[in-house]
A and B are shown apart, each in its own frame.
Chain A
Amino acid sequence: MDLKELYQEIILDHGKNPRNLRKTENFNKDAKGHNPLCGDNVHIYLKLNENKKVEDISFEGHGCAISMASASIMTDLVKGKEEAEVKEIVNDFLDMIKEKEELQNKILNEDEKTKLMCLSGVKQYPMRVKCATLSWHTLTSAIDDFQKIVNTES
């Protein structure tokens, strides 16, 4: 295992200065996520316009560098995408973290994919995978309007 792969510069940067760490005004979808093992909390706010495009996305919460960086990068990448595209990106990311070597989607460009692949270091740290995926599961929950709080342990 290699800590340098887990804590790449870009992760540390996003972890320390998370983008979109705020609350979207006039959001029309939101969801909360919680990891009881770490105490990590995330609240995702989403504003979809009439064409179901992500006009704005933001989050509030606290957690480790991995979870904050993951939420930060995620919000950056899905902004401006259509709802169906967001879902595809989310599923692709979760598949990659779970088993696949590469991202398969055709929505993100190569630079964006490279940025996202920085999070793949957690694959070597099974206990930390949930840190990376919490905000992504929560985003799915927001889009699907689930009323239940996403919980990594249930």
Chain B
Amino acid sequence: MDIDSIKKEFPIFDNKVQNNDLVYLDSANSSQKPRVVIDRIYDFYSKEFSNVGRSVHYLAVAATNLYENTRTSVQRYINAKDKNEIVFTKGATEAINLVANTFGQKYLEEGDEVLLTELEHHSNYVPWHFLRNSKKIKIEFAEINEAGEITIEAIKNKITNKTKIISVTHLSNVTGAILPIKEIVELAHSKNIPVLVDGCQGAPHLKLDMQELDCDFYAISGHKMYGPTGIGVLYAKKKWLDDLPPYQGGGGMINEVKKTGISYGELPNKYEAGTMATAQVIAFNESIKFMEKVGIENIEKHEKELLDYGLDILGKNNSIKIVGNPKNKGGVISFTIEGVHPHDIATILDEDGVAIRAGHHCCQILHEKLKLPATARASFGIYNTKDDIDQLSQSIENCKKIFNI
């Protein structure tokens, strides 16, 4: 695979950042955008803009078709049975809030349990926390092992006859652990428990097949998949979308509105109230096509090579401690340097154009468990090269020099 030519499709790398070439190692936070995605937003607003699903004029019909084309592309990309199982949201956060809110409303009672894991980022904890107050539910956390993984046993240990839904990440944004989703779903379904998968990190890096995973819900973040911000996807089995109540009310999601009552629209409109992020949805189609063109197998292979190389280089450095050692790991390396706080690392690396993230990565539960107030994190995307990791390693040396380590 020719990474150099793929990288050239991302205009951000044409520019210097503070006089340095950009070494972007923060894709788990948000990925950079290829030109096709950026151009699509510009073109749509310049030549094709109209609101969708309402008016009958030419532009409205054309825009509606473009909008629906993305739904078909997402359906194809994740192998969903029905295109109406794809609901557009403003992000994965809203997708999870949608499920927590509507499922909680209909199915959760006082004393019921929602099972999460210690790896969850705040988007897959806070929406459930709301139900602690409104419904007096309990939240349980499956525990990580020493490697920073969640095993099927860890899930099994926390399932009780009160467990009503399991909501787990596909891939940890801190330890990189890839969870055994298929096994978790099989186990849960054998006890009639539905499963939501937080695919924020899964969707950009792993091959997705909803028929194989068989999960009930899958939340996707568009901006982590080389797509625009403000767009996400909730995949849900049709039986759930038919069964659960609507989430937000407004235009577009209704069938008939009278003073005495309201009936709601059919799928997928039922969950898409108000004017949606039209341009972003349409441009997101280009992200999907971009990923299909590169090939998810190639993306996985490339990121695995980077991961192995990165673990090897950083692993040789005695001052560096890598957080977690999962057997099945995605392209994320979280680390600490003895004697240098992660925020100081990030500032010093930034001076060389190396963009990493430092902090708790929206995973305070996990950092508390690891007894680390913060970590530094390098995460990979399709545009990264071994040179980027060499630069990371070199900048870490500079960091140690400044701190006399």
Contact = CB atoms under 8 A, between A and B. Distances in A.
Interface of A: 1, 3, 6-7, 12, 16, 37-41, 62-66, 68, 125, 127-128, 131
B402 A38 contact: no
Nearest to A41: B373
A151 to B, nearest CB: 14
Contacts, number: 50
> Secondary structure of the B side of the interface?
mixed
5 contacts: A38-B358, A38-B359, A63-B373, A125-B347, A128-B343
B403 interface: yes
A65 B358 CA distance: 14
A45 B403 CA distance: 29
B367 A39 contact: yes
Of A3, A41, A63, A128, most B-chain CB atoms within 10 Å: A3
Contacts of A125: 347
A40 B347 contact: no
Nearest to B402: A7
B402 A64 contact: no
B367 A16 contact: no
B364 to A, nearest CB: 8
Interface residues of B, number: 20
B46 interface: no
Nearest to A3: B351
A140 to B, nearest CB: 23
B348 A39 contact: no
Contacts of B340: 65
A50 to B, nearest CB: 38
A12 B373 contact: no
B374 A65 contact: no
A125 B342 CA distance: 15
A94 B383 CA distance: 42
